[in-house]
Amino acid sequence: MIMPLYKKVVLYLLLSVSAFFIFAPAIMALVMSFMPSEQILTGTIIPDSLTLDHYRQAFERFPLLSYLTNSLIVSLLIMAGQLLLSSLAAYAFVFLEFKGRDALFFLFIATMMIPFEASIIPNFQTIRDMNLLNTYTGLSLPFFAMAFGTFLLRQTFKQIPKELKEASEIAGMGDLKFYLTVVLPVAKTSLVTLGVYGFLSAWNMYLWPLLATTDDSVRTVQIGLKQLQSQEQLNEWGVIMAGGIIVVLPTLILLFLGQKKLQKGLTEGALK
């Protein structure tokens, strides 16, 4: 459809103003992370010189690199666990027929109603009693099972023609092999989407890493940022912002790359 000019102008105006407000905090942080401290303290908005000092200090004074590595490992672990468990469960719900399947499916739906935050106390005790505090395992284990991921993949698997399964049955291929050699490759796009989503959520996790880490050994970058913020003097805003930028950079890049797929995948998963 052809859009009248005035409508275009109004739209671009709305879009630009909105974009400014949405993006302002992040831009501000980015600018401040390069801005010399004196200028920050005087309330400058546009700096007249840039410096890398804050970044250097952030890395020097804090084990940021090790925090980043920890976050990466934990996020990858959670992502892999979720992909494996969700795809296995989704496979059972789509391709296997057995008594009690519907009851189990309701059990999965029911898990959506239990907030992790409400069951955090026993979870902490479990991990503590298993001596898993301050371990990658302890950080990632509670998040492996995932109802949302199961639903999302179930939607995708349902779109695979059942004839593919039947053809493989006639060829004498077992379920495990069909799952590995046909279902997973065919559903690659959705697996990537879910993986990105799982990675993002895991990277950004706050409450659990706060509880499950008591020292620097496996501390994630989010909790590192909290420490940076609470231990720094208030006039070290540049260092704090540099830390913030380092924390969001990986996820933002991932998001920019996968925005379209993520949107499609999440919408599909959300709306059965």
According to CB under 8 A, which residues from 10 to 69 bind other proteins? 11-12, 14-15, 18-19, 22-26, 28-29, 32, 40-41, 43, 45
Interface positions, 97-126, toward other proteins (CB under 8 A): 97-101, 104, 107-108, 111-126
Using alpha carbons, list the distances in angstroms from residue 157 to 19, 125, 176: 37, 37, 15
CA 238 to the chain's CA centroid: 26
Contacting other proteins within 71-100 (CB under 8 A): 84-86, 88-89, 91-92, 96-100
The yes or no reply on residue 4 touching other proteins (CB under 8 A) is no
Site for other proteins in 170-189 (CB under 8 A): 170-173, 175, 177, 179, 182, 185-186, 188
Quick one: which of 35, 64, 79, 262 contacts other proteins (CB under 8 A)?
262
Closest residue by Cα to residue 88 from 178, 200, 202: 178
Shortest Cβ distance from residue 64 to other proteins (Å)? 13
Between CA 104 and CA 89 the distance in angstroms is: 10
The burial class, CB within 10 Å (0-12 / 13-18 / 19+), for 243 is buried
Segment interacting with other proteins, rule: CB under 8 A, options 8-16, 49-57, 60-68, 72-80: 8-16
Instruction: Name the minimum Å distance from CB 77 to other proteins.
Output: 13
> CB-based contacts of 153: which residues, under 8 Å, 6+ apart?
86, 87, 90, 187, 190, 191, 194
First to last CA, the chain: 31
Site for other proteins in 121-160 (CB under 8 A): 121-126, 141-145, 150
Backbone angles phi, psi at 150, to 5 degrees: -60, -45
Distance, C-alpha 199 to centroid of its chain: 4
Between 48 and 163, CB nearer to other proteins: 163
Size of the site for other proteins (CB under 8 A): 110
